[in-house]
Amino acid sequence: MFLGWCNEIAQEFGVFHLIFIAGGGFGFAWYYSFWINLPHRHTDPDEFVLPDFPEASTFHVTQMEKVLRVVDGSESTTVSRREELFS
C-alpha cells in the first residue's frame, strides 16, 4: 500500500514486480478496512465493527487516527489513500 506507485511504474516499463508488505497482517487489514469502508461514517454509535474484518472485534472512534475521524470519502486525502490501497 505504501509503494502502490511501484506497480504502475513496473507495468509501464514491462518489468516483473512483486510487492511484499513486511508489516503485521492484523495492522494492515485494519488499516485497509478503515480507509476502504470508512465504517464510522455508516453508524451512529461511537463503537463499530469493521464490515470486512469482523475478527478484529469492536472499535471505538478514539482508536482511530485523527485524520480518519474527519474524512468523509470525497476529499483528496481519502481518494489518494484508496488509490494507493487498490494498487
- Is residue 43 a part of any domain in this protein? yes
- Is residue 14 a part of any domain in this protein? no
Q: For residue 2, which phi and psi values (nearest 5 degrees)?
A: -80, -20
Specify the pLDDT at position 35: 86
Q: How many domains does the chain have?
A: 1
58 contacts 43 by C-beta, under 8 angstroms? no
- Is residue 12 a part of any domain in this protein? no
- Is residue 48 a part of any domain in this protein? yes
For residues 39 and 23, which has the higher predicted lDDT (pLDDT)? 39
Specify the pLDDT at position 2: 61
pLDDT digits (tens, 9 = 90+) for 33-61: 888 888 888 888 888 888 888 888 888 88
Global confidence as pTM: 0.64
Length of the chain: 87
Average pLDDT of the chain, as a whole number: 82
- Is residue 2 a part of any domain in this protein? no
- Is residue 8 a part of any domain in this protein? no
Closest CA to 71 of 30, 37, 47: 37
Residue at grid coordinates 469492536: 58
Range of 49's domain?
A: 24-86
**Are β-strands 47-49 and 58-60 bridged in parallel, bridged antiparallel, or unpaired?**
antiparallel
